[in-house]
C-alpha cells in the first residue's frame, strides 16, 4: 500500500500489525475484539482488511474514483436510467395486463437495484471504506446480494411459469394467475432481502479473522459458500427448464428457440468462480485474489442487457416506453400534445405471433395437418416476451 494512504489510515485508526504482541493481546479473543470495536478504540474494518492482505495490495489508484471507476459510474447511471425507464413504462401502461409483465417488472427492478448497489459501492470504496461502520459496510455489500438473489428468483419464477404454460393442458385464468404470481414475486423479494442482510443480522466473521473472506473481509466464508451454492443450484434449475422448453418446441415443430438466457450465466459465472476460489483458499496464500472490481463490472453488464432481452423485444413494451418518453417530451414542450400513443393503443397490439406458434404447435402437433389452428388463450400470448436458451 502506498505510504501516504497508509499514513492517513494509521493517523485515523489504530492499525495493529498481525504479528505484534499488542495484536495478540487486544484482538486475540473475539470478545475483547468486539469490545474494542464497539467502543471504537480500534477500526475493525481496517483490521480485517489488514489481516486479509488487501492493504498490502492497495495502490494509490485504488483511492478515489479515478478514470476507470468514473467510467464504471457513468455506465451504472446509464443502466439505472435504462431500467427505470422500462419499469415506469411497464407500471404505467401494462400493470393490469398479462402475468408476464409482473415478471418483467420484477427482473427490471432487480437490475435497477444492481445498478444502484454498484454505484454506491464505487462511491463508498477506497479510503471511504475505512470510515464506514461495520453496519454500513454490510449494507453496502448486502444490497448487491439482494439484487442478485431477487434477479435469480425472478428468473426462476419466469422459467417455471413459462414451462407450466407449455405443458399444462388447461390454461389458468389470467386474473388468478397474475394475482398468484404477484404474491410469489413479493415472497421472492422478501426472501432475497433476508438472504442479502444475513451478514448484517449476525452471520458474519467480525473479529473471527480466520473464518473471513479475502475478497470481502467482513463476510464469513460459510455465508459466501452458501450464497454461491444456492445461486448455482437455482441457475442450473433455470437452465434445465429452458432446455426442456427447447426440446418441447423442437419436438412439436421446426422452429428453433432463441437462446437469450445465457447472458446472466456468462456475466455472473466469473464472480461465482472467484468467490469459490476465495472460500477454499487459505488466508495469506491467495495472493492472486485482490479485487472484485472487474468481475462485478461484468456482472453489472447483465443488468444492462436484461431490459433488451426481457422487455424491449416486446412491441407492447417498446410502445409503452415510447409513450412514456413522448409524454415527457410533451411536458417539456418538445412535442405537440396528442402526438403520443394512448394506453389503449399500446395494449391493442400484439407482439407474440411467433410465441403463439410454440404452444399451439406443441398441443396441436398431432392434428396440425388435419384441421385449422384454433384460437389460443391469452395465457400463451406473451411467450415471445420470455427468454429461452
**Per-residue pLDDT tens digits of the chain, which is 389 residues long:** 444 444 444 444 445 544 443 444 445 577 778 777 777 767 888 888 888 877 776 665 555 567 878 888 899 999 999 999 999 988 887 766 677 888 888 999 999 999 999 999 888 888 888 888 899 999 999 999 999 999 899 989 988 888 888 887 666 677 788 788 889 999 999 999 999 999 999 999 988 888 898 889 999 999 999 999 999 999 889 889 888 888 888 877 645 444 555 677 788 888 888 898 888 887 666 766 767 778 888 888 888 888 888 777 778 888 888 888 888 887 877 777 766 655 555 555 444 333 333 444 444 443 334 444 444 444 444 444 444 33
Burial class (CB in 10 A: 0-12, 13-18, 19+), 183: exposed
What CA–CA distance (Å, rounded) separates 350 from 384? 10
C-alpha cell at 103: 415478471
Can you give the pTM of this predicted structure?
0.78
Decide: 360 and 166 in contact? Cβ < 8 Å: no
Residue in 79, 74, 75 with CA at minimum distance from that of residue 307: 79
What CA–CA distance (Å, rounded) separates 285 from 207? 20
What CA–CA distance (Å, rounded) separates 146 from 144? 5
Decide: 278 and 215 in contact? Cβ < 8 Å: yes
- Spell out the domains of the chain, with CATH numbers in brackets: 65-249+294-332 (1.20.1070.10)
Cβ neighbors of 339 (< 8 A, separation 6 or more) are 326, 330
C-alpha cell at 368: 396440425
Where b means 16+ CB within 10 Å and e means fewer, 184-209 reads: bbeebbeebeebbbbbbeeebbbbeb
Amino acid at each position: 500500500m502506498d505510504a501516504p494512504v497508509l499514513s492517513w489510515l494509521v493517523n485515523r485508526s489504530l492499525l495493529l500489525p498481525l504479528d505484534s504482541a499488542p495484536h495478540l493481546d487486544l484482538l486475540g479473543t473475539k470478545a475483547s475484539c468486539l469490545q474494542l470495536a464497539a467502543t471504537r478504540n480500534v477500526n475493525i474494518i481496517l483490521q480485517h482488511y489488514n489481516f486479509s492482505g488487501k492493504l498490502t495490495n492497495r495502490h494509490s489508484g485504488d483511492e478515489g474514483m479515478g478514470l476507470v471507476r468514473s467510467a464504471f459510474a457513468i455506465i451504472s447511471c446509464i443502466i439505472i436510467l435504462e431500467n427505470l425507464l422500462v419499469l415506469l413504462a411497464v407500471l404505467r401502461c401494462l400493470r393490469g395486463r398479462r402475468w408476464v409483465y409482473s415478471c418483467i417488472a420484477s427482473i427490471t427492478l432487480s437490475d435497477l437495484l444492481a445498478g444502484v448497489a454498484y454505484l454506491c459501492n464505487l462511491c463508498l470504496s477506497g479510503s471511504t471504506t475505512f470510515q464506514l461502520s461495520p453496519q454500513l459496510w454490510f449494507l453496502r455489500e448486502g444490497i448487491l446480494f439482494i439484487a442478485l438473489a431477487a434477479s435469480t428468483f425472478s428468473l426462476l419464477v419466469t422459467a417455471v411459469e413459462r414451462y407450466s404454460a407449455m405443458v399444462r393442458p388447461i390454461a389458468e385464468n389470467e386474473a388468478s394467475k397474475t394475482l398468484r404470481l404477484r404474491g410469489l414475486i413479493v415472497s421472492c423479494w422478501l426472501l432475497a432481502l433476508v438472504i442479502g442482510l444475513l451478514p448484517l443480522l449476525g452471520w458474519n466473521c467480525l473479529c473471527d479473522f480466520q473464518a473471513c473472506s479475502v475478497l470481502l473481509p467482513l463476510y464469513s466464508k460459510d455465508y459466501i459458500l452458501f450464497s454461491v451454492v444456492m445461486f448455482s443450484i437455482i441457475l442450473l434449475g433455470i437452465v434445465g427448464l429452458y432446455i426442456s422448453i427447447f426440446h418441447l418446441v423442437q419436438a412439436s415443430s421446426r422452429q428453433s428457440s432463441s437462446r437469450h438466457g445465457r447472458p446472466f450465466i456468462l456475466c455472473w459465472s466469473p464472480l461465482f468462480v472467484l468467490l469459490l476460489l476465495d472460500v477454499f483458499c487459505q488466508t495469506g496464500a491467495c495472493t492472486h485474489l485482490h479485487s472484485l472490481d472487474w468481475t462485478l463490472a461484468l456482472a453489472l453488464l447483465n443488468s444492462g442487457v436484461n431490459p433488451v432481452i426481457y422487455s424491449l423485444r416486446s412491441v407492447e413494451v417498446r410502445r409503452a416506453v415510447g409513450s412514456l418518453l413522448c409524454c415527457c417530451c410533451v411536458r417539456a414542450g418538445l412535442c405537440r400534445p396528442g402526438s403520443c400513443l394512448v394506453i389503449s393503443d399500446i395494449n391493442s397490439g400484439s407482439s407474440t405471433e411467433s410465441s403463439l406458434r410454440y404452444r399451439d404447435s406443441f398441443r396441436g402437433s398431432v392434428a396440425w395437418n388435419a384441421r385449422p389452428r384454433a384460437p389460443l388463450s391469452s395465457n400463451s400470448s406473451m411467450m415471445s416476451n420470455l427468454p429461452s436458451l
